[in-house]
């Protein structure tokens, strides 16, 4: 799952120009407060969310992202020069 996440973000940044490079796991898992979210951006279609507890649960759930292997760390640079590697890694996941 971690590898797929890195490859997906690589595509978002390199191909779709969404996000900035390099991908930094510590930015993704950084603690956030309720003020970091748009009003009603979470919970509009569901019941109200206890933001502090939810945010801590999400960071804990995704802590596995901190263990990127050497390939994943390289791809996290979101460098176009790694396209062939990224495409090959995606092909392996598909098989």
Q: Would you say residue 43 has pLDDT above 70?
A: no
Domain-located, residue 41: no
Which residue range(s) make up the domain with 18?
2-33+46-94
Domain-located, residue 40: no
pTM of the model: 0.78
> Residues 3-11: what's their mean pLDDT?
96
Distance between CA 36 and CA 56 in Å, rounded?
14
Query: Structural domain tally of the chain?
Result: 1
Question: Which CA distances in Å does 8 have to 21, 39, 40, 49, 69?
Answer: 13, 27, 27, 27, 16
Q: Would you say residue 47 has pLDDT above 80?
A: no
Domain-located, residue 39: no
Q: Would you say residue 40 has pLDDT above 70?
A: no
Domain-located, residue 38: no
């Amino acid at each position: 799952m971690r590898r797929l996440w890195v490859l997906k973000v690589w595509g978002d940044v390199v191909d779709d120009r969404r996000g900035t490079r390099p991908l930094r796991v510590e930015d993704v898992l950084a603690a956030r407060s309720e003020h970091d979210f748009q009003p009603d951006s979470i919970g509009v279609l569901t019941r109200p969310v206890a933001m502090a507890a939810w945010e801590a649960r999400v960071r804990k759930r995704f802590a596995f992202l901190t263990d990127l292997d050497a390939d994943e760390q390289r791809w996290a640079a979101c460098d176009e020069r790694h396209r062939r590697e990224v495409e090959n890694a995606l092909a392996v996941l598909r098989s």
